[in-house]
Amino acid sequence: MLVINIATILVSYYCFDKIIKDRKIAFAGCTVYSLAPYRLLCTYLRCSVGEYTAMLFLPLVLYGLYRIYEETDKKVKWLPLAIGFSGLIQCHVISTLLATIFTALFCLARLKETFQWKNFKQLLIAVFAVIIIDFWFLVPFLDYFRFDYYSTELTALGNTNAQGTYPVKLFTLFPRGAGDAYSVAKGVGVTGEMSYPLGAAFGVVGVCYLFYLLSRKDIKKKDKIIKIGNCALIGGCIATFMACVWFPWDFIQEMFNGKFAMIVQNIQFPWRMLGIATLLFSVVFMCLIVKLRESDDKKIARVFGLSVIALIFISASYFYSDNEERRWSLYLQEEADIEKSDSNVNAVMGGEYLLKGTDRDCWLDTEVWSEGKLSTLDYRREGGSSFVTCQNGGEAETYVDIPVFCYKGYRAKDVQTKEDFLIVSGEQNRIRVIIPAGYNGTIKIRFREPWYWRVSELISVIGVIMIFICFKKNRDTRKREAVSNV
C-alpha cells in the first residue's frame, strides 16, 4: 500500500507537470488527486487493491492522450498511453473498461483529429504495444473465459441504477471512514452506509471553473489550457452523472436485446466512475490555477489553490479519523482461522470466478471424498501441490475428490512411477482423480500451465525489449539533433 501511494504521487506529478508545464501547480494537482476522498475510500475502507492501483495508471492514460493529440515534437508519442493501459489491464479489468469507454468518447469528440494519420498511427501503435506487453496475461485470461463462472451470470439486471449515489453523498465534506455499500432499496432505514464521495473540493472546483468561463469575455477558445480544462470538465461531469442513480444504466442494459447487459453488469457499481471523475477534476483544478495566474490574478490563484487543498485536507483528515476509530481488525494466520471467524460468509465475497454449480461454503470442507473400496491413507498440501496416498482394493476403477477446485491446468502423477492419472470435475467442482483397480501409492496433483501460456510470456518479454530499444534509439536521436542544433 505504501509503495502504491508513493508511486501514485510520483506518477501523477510527472504526468500533470508534462501537461500543465508548471511544477508547483502539478504538485498541487497531485496533492488533491492523491488525497481525493474516493481514492482514500478504495485504499483504506474498501481495500480495493486493484482499483486504487489502477488509479496509479490513470494519469498515464490521460497524459498519453494529451501527448498524441497536442504535442508535435515527439515521435514515440504512444508510449505513455501504452504503459497506462498495460498497467490498468494487469491491475483492474473494470477500471480498464471504464478508461476505454472514456478514451473512446474522447476520440469520438475529436473525430477529425483522431483520423489524421499522424494521430491514428500513434493510437494503433499504442493498441498493438498494449497487446504485446500484456500478451502473457491476456492469453490465460481469455483461455479461462471459455469456462462458466459466476461472474458471467446476469443476476443484477434492472438493479444497476439502484447502486448509484446521490449528490448529497458525492459532494460531502466529511466522508465516512466506515460502512458498507447498499442499493437504494436495501439502504432504506439502514444506518452506517459508506460514503460515495467525489468530495466538496471538486464540487467547488467545477463551480469556480464555470464561473471563470462565464465571467471572462477575453477567453480564447483555441487556448490550449482552456481546451484541456473544458475537455476535463465535460468528462468529469459525465463521469459524475454516470455515478448517480439518475443515469439510465438499466435502460442501457436492455438496449439492442441486451447486447450491453454484460458490460453494465461487470461494472457492478456506477460509483466506480468516481475514479475517472477524480482525475479529470484534478486537471480542471490545475487549469483554473494556470489561467488565474496568467490573468494577473496571482493572489486569487493562490487563495483558490490553497482553499481547495484545505478542503481536500479536511475531507482526508476526517476520513482517516473516522476510519481509525470505527474499523476493526481481523487476524488470519491459517485457512482454519477463516472458518472460525465471523467473516467466513464473506470469505469468497461475491463468488466471482467460482465455477458454476459450486456451493460457496463447500470450500471450507477439507475432507477427501472417495468411492467404493478406495482407502485414503493420507492427504496433505505442500508447496502449492496436493499429495494423496490411497489404495484401491477393488477390481474396478474408482475416484478420489480432493478439496481443490478443478480449474484448467491441473495434472496428476504418481510420485514414484510418474504415471499420469485422469482428472475430471467431481462433486462441487472438486478435482476428481480417477484411480485404476489395484493401485497403491501416492499421487501428486499440481497446476501446470499450458505450453502456449509460456509462449505468450516469451512474446511479452521480447515485445518489452523491442519497445525499450525503440525508445532508447528515439531518445539518442533526439539528443543528437539537439546537439547539432546548438
| Three-state secondary structure readout of 80-108 | HHHHHHHHHHHHCHHHHHHHHHHHHHHHH
> Where is mean pLDDT largest: 159-163, 213-217, 357-361?
213-217
Query: Which of 71-85, 146-160, 263-277, 446-460 has the lowest average pLDDT?
Result: 146-160
Residue type, 469: I
SS3 450: coil
DSSP codes of every residue in 193-257 = BPP----HHHHHHHHHHHHHHHH-SS--TT-HHHHHHHHHHHHHHHHHHHTBTTS-HHHHHHGGG
pLDDT tier, 73 (very low <50, low <70, confident <90, very high otherwise): confident
Which carries the bigger pLDDT value, residue 147 or residue 14?
14
- State the pLDDT at residue 152: 46
- State the pLDDT at residue 481: 67
SS3 79: helix
pLDDT tier, 85 (very low <50, low <70, confident <90, very high otherwise): very high
CB 233 within 8 A of CB 202: no
Please report, for the chain, how many H helices and E strands are present, in that order. 18, 9
Closest to 275 measured CA to CA, from 87, 147, 124, 92: 92
Helix-helix angle 93-109:224-242, to 10 degrees: 130
Please report, to the nearest 10 degrees, the dihedral formed by the alpha carbons of residues 290, 292, 294, 299 taken in order: -110
Mean residue pLDDT of the chain comes to 86
Q: What is the CA radius of gyration of the chain?
A: 27
The class of domain 365-447 in CATH terms is mainly beta
User: Taking the complete model, does pTM exceed 0.75, yes or no?
Assistant: yes
Q: 352 pLDDT exceeds 50?
A: yes
Which carries the bigger pLDDT value, residue 63 or residue 262?
63
Residue type, 296: D
Residue with cell 474522447: 106
What are the Cα distances from residue 140, in Å, to 133, 260, 378, 403, 445? 14, 24, 33, 23, 20
- State the pLDDT at residue 219: 75
What are the Cα distances from residue 156, in Å, to 189, 210, 241? 22, 37, 21
- State the pLDDT at residue 344: 46
**Percent of the chain having pLDDT more than 90?**
54
pLDDT (average), residues 298-304: 90
pLDDT (average), residues 211-237: 88
Which carries the bigger pLDDT value, residue 337 or residue 270?
270
Which carries the bigger pLDDT value, residue 46 or residue 482?
46
Instruction: State the Cα–Cα distance between residues 3 and 19, nearest whole angstrom.
Output: 24
CB 98 within 8 A of CB 275: yes
pLDDT tier, 385 (very low <50, low <70, confident <90, very high otherwise): very high
**Percent of the chain having pLDDT more than 70?**
87
User: Where in the chain are the domains?
Assistant: 2-149+160-180+194-326, 365-447
Burial of 355 (0-12, 13-18, 19+ CB in 10 A): middle
- State the pLDDT at residue 485: 61
> What count of other Cβ atoms lies within 10 Å of the Cβ of residue 20?
20
> Where is mean pLDDT largest: 12-21, 165-174, 334-343?
12-21
pLDDT (average), residues 336-349: 54
Q: 412 pLDDT exceeds 80?
A: yes
Closest to 421 measured CA to CA, from 395, 449, 442: 442
CB 42 within 8 A of CB 52: yes
Instruction: State the Cα–Cα distance between residues 171 and 40, nearest whole angstrom.
Output: 15
Q: 3-state DSSP: the chain helix, strand, coil percent, rounded to 5? A: 60, 10, 30
Q: 345 pLDDT exceeds 50?
A: no
Contacts of 407 (CB under 8 A, 6+ apart): 144, 147, 355, 447
Q: 339 pLDDT exceeds 60?
A: no
Handedness of CA 77, 79, 84, 86 (dihedral sign): positive
| Interval 96-134: pLDDT, tens | 999 999 999 999 999 999 999 999 999 999 999 999 999
CB 388 within 8 A of CB 443: yes
